Amino acid sequence: MSRTDRRRWKSARTVADLGDLMARWLEGEIASRPGYAARYGPDEETAHLVPTLAALCRAGYITTCSQPGLAGTGVDGLWWEQRAAVDGVVTDPELLHRLVVAATEAGMLVRTNDYRPGSADQEQPVIATTRDGEPTAAFGGRISRADMAIQWPGLDRGLYDQVAHGAYVSIVAPEYGPTGERLWVLLDQITGLRPAPDPEDDPWSAEPPWHTHGALEPEPGECTLCGAPIHHRGPYCTKACEEADADDTAVYN
């Protein structure tokens, strides 16, 4: 690492400083980063993930490792499969909560290894890469104290203490291959890089699609057609709903 880059990383005092430097390294503005080969940027396979990862770093989720969802024949002639996955450290409890809740609700596999004082939260890794069906890589394993020092050399002592006692969060798509790339859409929505879809337009939302609402069983006191509260006797809130439902019945019968 050049002396200029060493000074950059050493001058960082806050997690926000660190996140901005990591984002600038991802974007190619800085040649080297701690814990990675000097004068090397992100791996070529993750080039399309740079905007997502940079936004995460600037939001406070300092990513340290990631891979896209892939499936295909490798250079060795064997079949390789990858789950889209990302590792990183979070020191902000509110951001940690948002990440874990959003990822879990979207069906992602989440592992949290919490190094904050007094925490006993340590979880097992998730297999993220296979070669002819045999596991070759995992995300979410516990980081030892020695590995932590290797991952973050050259930081200010106070900043190192913050990241070494943060929560290391791994988020892994449940699917192998390109389908798991939905992980990056979710993370972009968390950082605001992409707008969050309305529930009815989100294929992974727990909210039923709009076109199925009419088929749902109404709650007591709700209109059979539109679900509005009923303030009189009968199954419909208005005559219009009754007539519309009769028209639908006529069409499908």
Q: Per-residue pLDDT for the chain (253 aa), expressed as one digit of tens each? A: 999 999 999 999 999 999 999 999 999 999 999 999 999 999 999 999 999 999 999 999 999 999 999 999 999 999 999 999 999 999 999 999 999 999 999 999 999 998 877 666 677 899 999 999 999 999 998 888 889 999 999 999 999 999 999 999 999 999 999 999 999 999 999 999 988 766 555 554 544 444 444 444 555 667 777 666 666 667 877 777 787 777 654 444 4
Beta bridge partners of 169: 88, 112
pTM of the model: 0.77
Beta bridge partners of 172: 85, 109
- 37 Cβ contact list (under 8 Å, min separation 6): none
Which residue, 62, 108, 113, is CA-closest to 83?
108
Q: How far is CA 86 from the centre of its chain?
A: 7
- For residues 32 and 25, what is the distance between their CA atoms, to the nearest angstrom? 7
In degrees, rounded to 5, the angle at the alpha carbon of residue 17 between the alpha carbons of residues 56 and 109 is: 25
